[in-house]
Amino acid sequence: MGVPSRKCLGEELAWQYANLARATAALTDGVKEFSAVHHQIRMKLYKGLSSGTMQLGSFFADEKYKIGMNACCYCGSVDDLSVDHLIPRKKLGTDLSENLIAACRSCNSSKRERDMLSWLRARDIFPSLVLLRRYLKLVYLFCQSHELLMAPWEEALMLELPFDLANLKDNLQPLYHLECLNLEYPVQLVRGITQSDSSQGYI
C-alpha cells in the first residue's frame, strides 16, 4: 500500500495523524511491526480526514492519560511540576484544557515560547504518541479554524504560525522505538530517518 502524495496542508496533517493512528493500533496490539490491518487503518483514516467524511478523535479520548498524571510530559520528572501551554500563550495558545499539560519547571522554563517539536528535537527527545497526537490535533484545529487546510503545503510552510509545520513532515520514528502510549521516560530521537521510510515500519 503506497504512500499518497499530499499537496495541501490538510492532506499532510491528515497523513501525519493517520500515521499516529497506525502506530497506536500496532502498539495496542503489542507488536513491533505493522500488519496489513494497521496499514488499512492508516489509509482509511487518511482518506476519511482528507475528504471530510471523518473527524479527528476528540480530546476527551486523550484526557484519560492526563488525569492523575503526576509526571512531566516531556522528561518524566515528578519533581517541581507546573502547567505548560503546548502552544504558548504568546502564540495564541489558549488556557483551555487541551492546550495544558503537566511539565516540570525545568522543561517549562527551557521551552518557553518555542514550538514543542522544535524544542524537543533540539534535546534529541521524541514525544509520546499521546502528546504528539494532542499537539497535532491543536495544529489541525488551528489550521481548520483559520481556513488554512486547503493551502498548498509549500505555501503553508512560509506562513507565520504558532507552530513549526516543517517538523511534522520530518518527524517519523521507528515503531520499535516507541515503547508505549504514555511514556514515562523520554525517548531519544533517532535522526536521519526520511519520509520514504514511512511505508516500511515507521509511524
Report, in Å, the least distance between residue 203 CB and Zn ion: 23
- Looking at beta carbons only, is 101 or 104 nearer to Zn ion? 104
Binding residues for Zn ion, per CB under 5 A?
72, 74-75, 77, 104, 107
Report, in Å, the least distance between residue 126 CB and Zn ion: 14
Report, in Å, the least distance between residue 114 CB and Zn ion: 14
Strands (E) in the chain, as ranges, are: 81-85, 100-104, 125-126, 187-188
* Distance from C-alpha of 27 to C-alpha of 4, rounded to nearest angstrom: 23
- Looking at beta carbons only, is 99 or 108 nearer to Zn ion? 108
- Looking at beta carbons only, is 8 or 104 nearer to Zn ion? 104
Count Cβ atoms within 10 A of the Cβ of residue 21 and give its class: 0-12 exposed, 13-18 middle, 19 or more buried.
buried
| Closest listed residue to residue 127, CA positions, set 192, 73, 54, 77 | 73
Place of cell 517519523: 172
- Looking at beta carbons only, is 10 or 88 nearer to Zn ion? 88
DSSP assignment, residue 202? B
Report, in Å, the least distance between residue 71 CB and Zn ion: 8
